[in-house]
Amino acid sequence: MARAAAPIGLALLGLLACDAQTDPGYQGEPLVTLRGRVESSGALPPLEAAMLWQRGPPPGTDDQELATRAPVTAGFPASFVLRLYTPPPEAAFRTLANGEPRWARANAAAVPYGVAPQQIPTLPAVYPASYTYDAAHWVVYVESDVPPNSLTEWWLGGALAAGYHLVQVLTTGCPTPADLQSCATDLVRRGIPDDLTNDPGTARGYCSASYRLQPTTLDETIVLHLGQVVAAPGPACP
């Protein structure tokens, strides 16, 4: 009888192990993990860190959807860890031109603790002391590998692989005529028409943007400056 107890005990241990591995709250491995901190000249109000998908055209931030949020730890520095477990919502996907890869972008933000998703559009006006976002970076999701010598490669600053990336948003100001001509010539080689106007979808339309993107490492620390909302880059240059 004593010998028969061992298999039964092993079976019970196996069942317990299976129960531990099937935690209903387990979301799987994150597709991307981002770390950051919140800085403020005064005491921090109750906050959460959040990732906000941008549904409007770049570089605007006036049509946002909550992706995820995480607690901001007390102390100095006030740090946070944001994890994304799924691809972006369909409403966030865009393309630059026909045949180009689909992509979506998001911004890390600090939001009031417990804010409801439907309140996200009101944050800049209603909660200015408890809201800010990182205008210096975009979290970009690329649905498929970006082909070399494509318009999307030029725009993102590299032929990025499918998946999540962190890119810097560099405010460049308006290009000189020589820089505009050089940029337009490059985009014509990539198949973008140049009709000598700055109309959307043309080479000079893209080249006239007041910002450029530059890929960086996902290990870079995101810094949110509470009370210092930095405006997104302005519209295209005249």
Beta strands in 23-84 (DSSP E): 32-39, 47-54, 64-71, 78-84
Q: How far is CA 192 from CA 14, 196, 198, in A?
A: 61, 12, 12
SS3 at position 181: helix
**pLDDT single digits (tens) 12-26:** 445 444 444 556 667
Tokens in use for 151? 């318009």
Of all residues in the chain, what percent are helix, strand and coil, respectively (each to 5)? 25, 30, 45
**pLDDT single digits (tens) 50-97:** 999 999 999 989 899 999 999 999 777 899 999 999 999 999 999 999
Place of tokens 């999540």: 164
Tokens in use for 237? 């240059």
Name the residue among 34, 227, 231, 222 with its Cα closest to residue 131: 227
Tokens in use for 214? 């530059």
Name the residue among 11, 94, 85, 23 with its Cα closest to residue 54: 94
pLDDT tens per residue, the chain (238 residues)?
445 445 544 444 454 444 445 566 677 899 999 999 999 888 888 999 999 999 999 998 989 999 999 999 977 789 999 999 999 999 999 999 999 999 999 999 999 999 999 999 998 888 888 999 999 999 999 999 999 999 999 999 999 999 999 999 998 888 899 999 999 999 999 999 999 999 999 999 999 998 999 999 999 999 999 977 666 676 677 7
Residues 6+ apart with CB under 8 A from 224: 36, 37, 38, 39, 49, 108, 109, 110, 132, 133, 134
